[in-house]
Structure 1
Amino acid sequence: MSERKVLNKYYPPDFDPCKIPKLKLPKDRQYVVRLMAPFNMRCKTCGEYIYKGKKFNARKETVMNELYMGLPIFRFYIKCTRCLAEITFKTDPENTDYAMEHGATRNFQAEKLLEEEEKRIVQDREEEELNNPMKVLENRTKDSKMEMEVLENLQELKELNQRQAQVDFEGMIDRYSDFEKREKEREKEEDERETKEMLDRALVKRLRDSDSDSEKEEEDSSGSQAKKPSTDKPTDILTTLKPTEALGSSAGGVKKAKVETWERSVGTLGGKGALGLLVVRKKPAATFLKPRPVAAASAPTSQTDSKASTTDSKNASKPVTTQNGSSSLSLLGAYSDSDSNDSE
């Protein structure tokens, strides 16, 4: 089985490589390569920023008559992404970097400038020391002073580290945490005390308001009771009087029992209840005194007559009552009941 890709070529027996013509190409010929921007740059034509790492299809060529320790230097051509202006930069093997040539400006790089400044200072110092031995001595004294200062600073740093090493950081943290807990407890107690005081003030105010409301209600109820009689039960309208002890010698025990049953069921009409206000009492009839014979009497008899006349006038103004103290109107029902019973 033959190979898929034939790598071996057939050379005929009469093959002579010297007879092959050499292809002559220019040394500064250009190749198309794919590369990335080696640094941040800005186009001079349109001001477009081209950042490091941007990919381009560039043309590469070898710089003629420029070598660094036998190493060739290459130049690259790219185009701006906005205005298509040509930008060129080349390799810098001396500084292991790239150098900007044309079409753009390299953005500021502090690190590179600092390195260049340090190199320049070192070169100037070496040049001075070569021609001036006193300068060498001055530089050595400055270096020794600098070393002494550095050692002193190191010693101070060591002492500070030792002091900090003796400090108990865990204990400090524990004390601080305890202090925070106490502060939180104190704040909590203050909040509770304030809320308790506020609740007490609100309770006192509520009690005062309730007392004032109850006083007003009592005053209103007392006024309403004075205006309207209270009626707890429907039968309270009919007020009762005390049962009579005796109606007289002629009525007997039967009439007394009938009066008691009437008073228990209906009540007396001469009481001070609601029906008592509706019943109008009969005015007592005027009593006429019989004329007494005028006789010659002494002063004491005249005094007794005057007293009797005053008592008779007082009795005439009062309503006629029975022996047990009840009025005649209160016995009206009893008399009517007795008549009905007698007729039966």
Structure 2
Amino acid sequence: MAERKATNKYYPPEWNPKDGSINKFVGQHPLRDRARKLDQGILIVRFEMPYNVYCDTCKNHIAKGRRYNAEKKSIGKYFTTTIWSFSMKCHHCSARIEVQTDPQNRDYALSKGIHRVLAEETKNDTVTSTYSMTGDEKQDEMRNDPFKRLEHLQEDKEFADEEKVHLIDLLEFRDRLASADYQNNSALRKSFRVILGLLLQNFCKD
């Protein structure tokens, strides 16, 4: 990116800044060829395949992370969240494949031309984190039951109190190190000198 920013752009003598940008002057969109179908509501984007899949046409494997130039367009709404469609061609056989966002399930839907490698893989094909997300059923239960919601808030408070103790210990440990940074540095350098002396002795013996 640095070399692109350092490259000077050509501004013809006929162009006047008062008339707008240079793109407007030459009659092209700032996104260039990516915006060639913008009048149809389609933007060309770089899309990365979210799963290991098979092409339904040529039966070849498409690896997770494979990138395509995809046609991105809006196809609907889930409440206020836009549902996006990404249409592209299989790099093996050029058959049209399509992936859609699925905000309801926080997932992707393979809507055309491809299917998942393993049927048992579900929407839970995500990296397990320290804190698991609350399921939709539990969210609905808390939304409709004030007592459940209060119980959940109490559990969160107890968890926060437990973590607060560990956080205070870490802060105190950091403060102890910071207050004796000179002594710690001197001790570390002294240990390095001892190790270096031993290495030199062994080298001289050899």
Q: Which has the larger radius of gyration?
A: 1
Q: TM-score, normalised by structure 1?
A: 0.33
Write 1 or 2 for the structure with the bigger share of helix: 1
